[in-house]
Structure 1
């Protein structure tokens, strides 16, 4: 258990950069469903004990205001249940570790809301309730089962050993952001193939626009490039075998191909001048300023950059285009911030009732107003992410963010991260990258 908790905290540190996605705009969320709305209204509260909810948000952030509105809606629906939501902030991981030593406390959390990458190791340890049976029961405000309301590939990506433990708050994937207005002005089409993408980059470069913006000092984002190309070119089983030290990266030719694809961008001068020394979040600012044509990142960008996005910019997103030698031509990463019910919580049925409202169609407009992508089938889409459901539904294979490699903790941070930064900045060749990756991985596991 101690080893798993240590990994839990390591992953929590990794996702700190990502955890704020969804908290970057001051839009006011719409009201939650009125009392009595939907099929969930006939459910009866179980007991009168306090329902304790822990959120990764800080009090006053837009998402925390939205979550509080759901608490208010639940309290109106179930007035006999006392509800307390605690906005723990990004240190929720360490707080829960401490609380595990006091499971009988009245304020032990029944529900925890956090990134699935942080929660998954605890579910593997049996600290969260399986929800498969609950997902077969009626949804709150739709004529479907609860499970049928969610985008299928999202729910599949969150499963652990085939079991569902989490209810998504939102849905994220990864790809290229662009300005549709800029594309129209330059006569560019959204690229579907690698050659199309190279043509877009050349046109942008010819027009004095940096094709792609990059923070070359940010290992966490730089290693995403190698992972995303590798996911398309080989299987997840081979990626994880190499990451665990059970196989050599050099023995799978697809890894060298992935590194060569990444190196293409620096070799062709497709990153902005000074990209190697750029510090987060400078690259995102260059993109919203129109000084770069493409930004390769996760679907929280519209939220994170809302205050810096000019009104004339038509931000949109497209998937990494198809590669000619791909094994899975449209492998996509799908993940979410999500809620789980703790196995040691005292109000499991009340917690399920809460999560049905939490994930109902009636509260989605409030989430969309914050530019957070909806996890529901046919849920309202933000203008910038109007293609995200298509991207997810068209995936030929799926994984969590970073291909679920964050579970390898220190290897992910201290081996893959620094080498990926050297690769993308052109400091080492693809061949040296693979050789050094094998050397450093072997040393790490020894």
Structure 2
């Protein structure tokens, strides 16, 4: 019944799929064994299909392809993985919904632990990853925070992490020194630093507004300091308002710090925001450790450094608690998660850490660093930081909110940060969206 309910929601997408494929597969039915190569009488090769949403030739993509190739060779060529990648997330999700509605769900998909993922879980589509890891004795192989990030608020987990990150504020050391400002320890001090820099004709912060999520990090900062993730969970569930004390504080903080973003930030893309910072055209830039390679030359030259999210008076979370995430996870089709697929995933967990770390990336799987690779001082420093993070971590708001509410928030927060919307108007728009979409 649950699968049929999900199929009804996606009827239009299903009709498009069937028309395009010329198939009459019932909407919402599981993908057939002959489609993924398992149990196919015409072939003795096991083919696993992974529909991915990660950069082609990115570190995860390269690592997984290397492991899959190695695994296939060990299986005598009787196993292979087919990867289809759509890196643009909105396009990926649209296609994923179409595939699932048309009974064409791949063996492996990429998905966040968000409301749509919960729909798939409720409909019985996804494997209980926590149970799988525990049953196989693999749960403790991962860093606890990397797994907790993948959990729903009830503690269940249906996605497997392939990455592990901390997010920080990078800053230009020369600009700070020349303008007599120091690394801020509190949120108020951070705003003071921004104010002093702007008064001296410096652009304090460069921001990628086109992708929205970098701006959304800022509105989440004060609520995280004061409540952990409690506020956003209550907001999502309709138990809190953006007009509550914590919500209003968040909105006012974004409006205030927004005046220190680069001019035209709403039309600034990822590469431009980063280039502004590295070219010395802005003093600070918020981004995660995944960009350490881009920062390395300037860091080694003593030009840039980083600090983590400042604290706040009366905060519930500590200085060693900030945005730590393990990114989009892998989820598995319950209909095709057979012994061969399980064996491959166990093989991934056994081999992933060293290969991924060898590409100067932080692995969610505990592993000793390969001794034949010279790791940078920056990498080792960040890795040490990650070992010292606290139990709380800022989980991005777009993983909590339904897609409609999130779109409303992301579109209007650009106006708020640019000074083109009032605090009260923003509060009302978001509250109205939540009221319309809360379940």
Q: TM-score, normalised by structure 2?
A: 0.72
Q: 1:187 to 1:123 in 2, by over 3 A?
A: farther
Mapping 1:172-187, distance limit 5 Å: 172-179=165-172
**Number of residue equivalences:** 392
Mapping 1:201-216, distance limit 5 Å: 201=194, 204-205=197-198, 208-216=201-209
Partner of 1:67: 64
Q: 1:205 to 1:387 in 2, by over 3 A?
A: farther
Structure 1 residue 419 displacement after superposition: 2.6
Partner of 1:84: 81
Structure 1 residue 124 displacement after superposition: 4.3
Check if 1:341 corresponds to 2:336.
no
Partner of 1:409: 403
Structure 1 unaligned residues grouped into runs of 5+: 9-46, 139-144
Q: CA RMSD in A?
A: 4.1
Mapping 1:391-402, distance limit 5 Å: 391=386, 394-398=389-393, 400-402=395-397
Q: Distance in 1 between matches of 2:377 and 2:179?
A: 21
Q: Distance in 2 between matches of 1:307 and 1:390?
A: 17
Structure 2 unaligned residues grouped into runs of 5+: 11-42, 370-374
Structure 1 residue 351 displacement after superposition: 2.1
Check if 1:130 corresponds to 2:128.
yes
Check if 1:291 corresponds to 2:291.
no
Partner of 2:323: 332
Q: Distance in 1 between matches of 2:208 and 2:233?
A: 26
Structure 1 residue 216 displacement after superposition: 4.7
Q: Distance in 1 between matches of 2:209 and 2:53?
A: 28
Mapping 1:242-253, distance limit 5 Å: 242-250=235-243, 252-253=244-245
Structure 1 residue 58 displacement after superposition: 6.4
The higher-RCO structure (CA 8 Å, 6+ apart) is 1
- Cα offsets for 1:124-143 (capped at 9, x unmatched): 432121133442467xxxxx
Q: Distance in 1 between matches of 2:261 and 2:131?
A: 49
Structure 1 residue 52 displacement after superposition: 0.2
Check if 1:437 corresponds to 2:430.
yes
- Cα offsets for 1:100-121 (capped at 9, x unmatched): 4676x8xx64333455557554
Q: 1:116 to 1:49 in 2, by over 3 A?
A: farther
- Cα offsets for 1:374-427 (capped at 9, x unmatched): 213356587656436635852342353226334x1111102x123311221122
- Cα offsets for 1:251-293 (capped at 9, x unmatched): x211112222223324xx5333444554554322211222112
Partner of 2:19: none
Structure 1 residue 183 displacement after superposition: 5.8
Q: Distance in 1 between matches of 2:298 and 2:122?
A: 40
Structure 1 residue 430 displacement after superposition: 3.1
Q: TM-score, normalised by structure 1?
A: 0.71
Task: Say which of 377, 388, 401 aligns to 2:366.
Answer: 377
Partner of 2:246: 254
Mapping 1:195-274, distance limit 5 Å: 195-198=188-191, 200-201=193-194, 204-205=197-198, 208-216=201-209, 219-234=212-227, 236-250=229-243, 252-266=244-258, 269-274=259-264
**1:369–1:382 Cα contact (<8 Å) kept:** no
**2:208–2:272 Cα contact (<8 Å) kept:** yes
